[in-house]
Amino acid sequence: GSQAPRRGVRTTCPYCGVGCGVVARPDGAGGTAIAGDPRHPANGGRLCSKGTALGETLGLEDRLLHPEIDGRRASWDAALDAVAEGFARALERGGPENVALYVSGQLLTEDYYAANKLAKGFLGTGNIDSNSRLCMASAVAAHRRAFGEDVVPGIYEDLEQADLVVLVGSNLAWCHPVLHQRLLAAKAARPGLRIHVVDPRRTATCGSAELHLPLRPGSDVALFAALLVHLHEHGHADTAWLAAHTEGAGAALAAARPIAAQAAALTSLDPALIARFCAEWAAAPRVVTLWSQGVNQSSAGTDKASAIINCHLLTGRIGKPGCGPFSITGQPNAMGGREVGALANMLAGHLDWDQPGEAAALAGYWGAPRLAQRPGLKAVEMFRALGDGRIGAMWVMATNPAMSLPEGEAVRAALAAAPFLVVSETTRRSDTARYAHVRLPALAWGEKDGTVTNSERVISRQRTFLPAPGEARPDWWIVAQVAARLGHGAAFAWDGPAAIFREHAAVTGLARPAARAFDISGLAGLDDAHYAAMPPTRWPVPEAGPGTGRFFAGGGFPAGRARLVPTPFRAPAAAPDADFPLRLLTGRLRDQWHSMTRTGAVPRLMAHVPEPCLTLHPEDAGTLSAGELVVAETPTGSAVLRLALDQAQRRGTAFAPMHWTAEFAPAARINGTLAAVTDPVSGQPELKHAALRVRAY
């Protein structure tokens, strides 16, 4: 009560990929006041319901506070020895393919870097993948094949400067609320700004849109093929730009034409609505097409993202104010994982196995004796390999695959049978941690210190404003301790996150072709004091001087030319049939985050949607009535949910949120009911779609 207010600590929200700046002010009496940071470029002081409630999520009730071996409290020394021995044994028995790390967009970049360096550099395995595989791997793959590198060309201001913003598979109002607020404020100031929503569901985001295209689930490629052909036939292709900076337009158009001819049938949209969408897109000089998980979490996710990028490349609507294809990520540090190579098919610093000399340059810089020779297993394949006995030691950090991966029963069986499983966690509320042989307590938001990168390439600091509870430690420290026990101490002898950040920044300058976009080598000499005070900083930050806000205005693609990619049409893998007549769609709720370990502790957030439910159109409910418990069955799993009926739900479809874990509602885990079907290019699972039947409980 009588304590004077303490100085605020500038940090970054731990939830979504908008990456809002937060000022945290501990009151000295156990509480923390949270406010938006008015100086942060992502939010300018705004926060959403989840960010505002962060102060109420800092309790220690459910925290894992001490290392444990086989469920018993252990010393750090004993636990770290056990991890090192478990991994050494697996390496000895089965070589580098026999070990795996599964990490998370909840990690800070420095933690992520350390884990990747250990796996790829010193365990010698490509088997490190991130839960970002479930989030935006398809966007990464589409960026790489279009541009030659994983780059989001634009910045948030482009949404405010556009004439038309198209939101595809994105419930921006709920999932990225502050960016949605910015968009609405721009529209209020400039009513000419138009918004189109492409989404099978009529979501909260549709409320502010001029046009909603409720297309058949999974049919996005057909809509954007129709747009590509329309743009070309109506003279909107920028032929000079195409000739100077791109290739593949002819092949992309040839592939698009037969799909465009059937667009109405494939999307089930009124042809007049498609025509209006195409005409408005063509007429708007400045267009941003923003997409999220409705595009990415699909067995055709990479082609969907490519179909969007093709339209921007064809018309040169990229790299200019108010223009561009824009992938928005789910997690606070999804981009950071992409930067350090924590996806199985990438190396640190956007270095690439396929580019001559790059892997060797990295191995030389790290002093790594046996850098992984090839990409490793992606998330779904990795857990299949665990189930098949092909992985002898696995380390899961800051994520809950027992709850989030498809075909959850098989994943849980694989975890239960794992010869050696390590879980680093902040919480006891983890469906995965219960299977672990060794549990390691990690620092949480407010306790840890490092950086994250948001969806517009802004690197922001997450700073410490709370003491480390119990014996919890930073993830990078835990990794370095294990590395030292495996005999690699010299390569992991960091004294804090600033030293790791410098190394990470230096890696981005290795073996550098002039055009590689991700370059923060200008930050490699940052001293500890400047790292501590680092303001939000957008990459690139090359050594030569300040970078640009947007990429590709005048070409300058990492691959030399950008590539328009032919995108064949593929429907979702599971079609409804007589046994499973409905389509299940999944997604987020406004006030919950992932598996609710934080947001589930805040009553006013829980009040928005207090229990897991399944929403149907009333005419699809048959004899079932609203409020009753129902069993939602797919061919690969089932969940028990409360039925809700809504006229706005598309006929023939059902919606269920993805947040509930065993801790909150054991029978309501939705992702686990889905089939483990993945995109052939990105390896991202089709988490948005399944065939479904519903019966009384």
Closest distance of CB 18 from ligand SF4, Å: 4
Q: At what angle do helices 249-261 and 220-233 cross, to 10 degrees?
A: 110
C-alpha 150/C-alpha 522 separation (Å) is 20
Shortest reach from residue 36's CB to ligand SF4, in Å: 7
Q: How far is the CB of 684 from ligand SF4 (least distance, A)?
A: 21
Cβ proximity of 289 and 166 under 8 Å: yes
Contacts 24+ apart (CB under 8 A), 81-85: 81/485, 82/437, 82/438, 83/395, 83/422, 83/438, 83/440, 83/482, 83/485, 84/482, 84/485, 84/486
Tell the smallest beta-carbon distance from residue 170 to ligand SF4 (Å). 13
User: In 440-467, which positions are buried (b, 16+ CB within 10 angstroms) versus exposed (e)?
Assistant: bbbbbbbbbbbbbbbbbbbbbbbbbbbe
In this structure, which long-range contacts are made by residues 499-502, counting pairs with CB atoms below 8 Å and at least 24 apart in sequence? 500/110, 500/113, 500/114, 500/450, 500/476, 501/109, 501/110, 501/450, 501/451, 501/526, 501/531, 502/526, 502/531
Q: How far is the CB of 19 from ligand SF4 (least distance, A)?
A: 6
50 binds ligand SF4 per the rule CB under 6 A: yes
Q: Is 20 in the site for ligand SF4 (CB under 6 A)?
A: yes
694 binds ligand SF4 (CB under 6 A): no
The verdict on 227 binding ligand SF4 (CB under 6 A) reads no
State in angstroms the smallest separation of the CB of 140 from ligand SF4: 20
Would you say how long the chain is, in residues?
Answer: 697
Give the contacts of 522 (CB within 8 A, at least 6 positions apart): 505, 541, 542, 543, 544, 545
C-beta closer to ligand SF4: residue 127 or 455 = 455
Closest to ligand SF4 by CB, 97 or 456: 456
The CB-of-128 to ligand SF4 minimum distance in angstroms stands at: 26
Host H or E run for residue 441: strand 438-441
Residue 48 as a binder of ligand SF4 (CB under 6 A): the answer is yes
Q: Cβ of residue 445: shortest distance to ligand SF4, in angstroms?
A: 11
Residue with nearest beta carbon to ligand SF4: 51
Stretch that binds ligand SF4, among 10-18, 80-88, 403-411, 441-449 (CB under 6 A): 10-18
Residue 51 as a binder of ligand SF4 (CB under 6 A): the answer is: yes
**Among residues 330 and 406, whose Cβ is nearest to ligand SF4?**
330
CA-based angle 80:82:87, to the nearest 5? 100
Question: How buried is 610 (Cβ within 10 angstroms: 0-12 exposed, 13-18 middle, 19+ buried)?
Answer: exposed
206 binds ligand SF4 (CB under 6 A): no
Closer residue to ligand SF4 in complex, CB, 48/394: 48
Q: Which is nearer to ligand SF4, 50 or 439 (CB)?
A: 50
Interface with ligand SF4 in residues 297-356 (CB under 6 A): none
Angle, CA of 7, 181 and 456, to the nearest 5°: 75
CB 169 within 8 A of CB 617: no
Q: Please give the Cα distance from 201 to 113 (Å, whole number).
A: 38
Q: Is 16 in the site for ligand SF4 (CB under 6 A)?
A: yes
Q: Which one of the spans 8-16, 120-128, 140-148, 687-695 is the region binding ligand SF4 (CB under 6 A)?
A: 8-16
- Residues 650, 219 contacting (CB under 8 angstroms): no
Q: Which is nearer to ligand SF4, 15 or 557 (CB)?
A: 15
Minimum gap (Å) between residue 12 Cβ and ligand SF4: 8
With CB under 6 A as the contact rule, which of the stretches 47-55, 71-79, 427-435, 529-537 interacts with ligand SF4?
A: 47-55
Cβ nearer to ligand SF4, comparing 147 with 445: 445
- What the block records as the tokens of 350 is 């956007």
Residue (328 or 691) nearer to ligand SF4, CB: 328
Min dist. Cβ of residue 659 to ligand SF4 (A)? 14
Output 40 or 563, the one with its CB closest to ligand SF4. Answer: 40
| Minimum distance from residue 332 beta carbon to ligand SF4 (Å) | 7
Is residue 40 close enough to count as binding ligand SF4 by CB under 6 A? no
Q: Does 659 bind ligand SF4 (CB under 6 A)?
A: no
Determine contact, residues 403/664, Cβ cutoff 8 Å.
Answer: no
- Out of 9, 13, 206, 486, which residue is the one contacting ligand SF4 (CB under 6 A)? 13
**445 sits near ligand SF4 (criterion: CB under 6 A):** no
Q: Which is nearer to ligand SF4, 426 or 634 (CB)?
A: 426
Q: Residue 16 or residue 410: which is nearer to ligand SF4 going by CB? A: 16
Distance CA 466, CA 679 (A): 41
Separation between Cα atoms, residue 116 and residue 103, nearest integer Å = 9
Answer yes or no whether residue 242 interacts with ligand SF4 by CB under 6 A: no
The one among 18, 24, 64, 255 contacting ligand SF4 by CB under 6 A:
18
Q: Which is nearer to ligand SF4, 18 or 403 (CB)?
A: 18
Tally of CA atoms within 13 A in the half-sphere of 22 that contains its CB: 31
Query: How crowded is the C-beta side of 402, counted as CA atoms within 13 Å?
Result: 24
> Per rule CB under 6 A, is residue 15 in the interface with ligand SF4?
yes
Q: Angle between the 358-366 and 497-507 helix axes, to the nearest 10 degrees?
A: 150
Of the two residues 48 and 168, which places its CB atom closer to ligand SF4 in the complex?
A: 48
DSSP state, residue 544: T
Say if CB 601 and CB 59 are below 8 A apart: yes
DSSP string, 266-278: HHT--HHHHHHHH
SS3 assignment for 221-268: HHHHHHHHHHHHHCCCCCHHHHHHHEECHHHHHHHHHHHHHCHHHHHC
Helix, strand counts (H, E) of the chain: 23, 26
Region of 42-50, 373-381, 395-403, 688-696 interacting with ligand SF4 (CB under 6 A): 42-50
| Partners of 450 in the β-ladder | 462
Site for ligand SF4, residues 123 to 182, rule: CB under 6 A: 176-178
414 is a site residue for ligand SF4 (CB under 6 A): no
Residue 55 as a binder of ligand SF4 (CB under 6 A): the answer is no
Contact positions vs ligand SF4 (CB under 6 A): 13, 15-16, 18-20, 43, 47-48, 50-51, 176-178
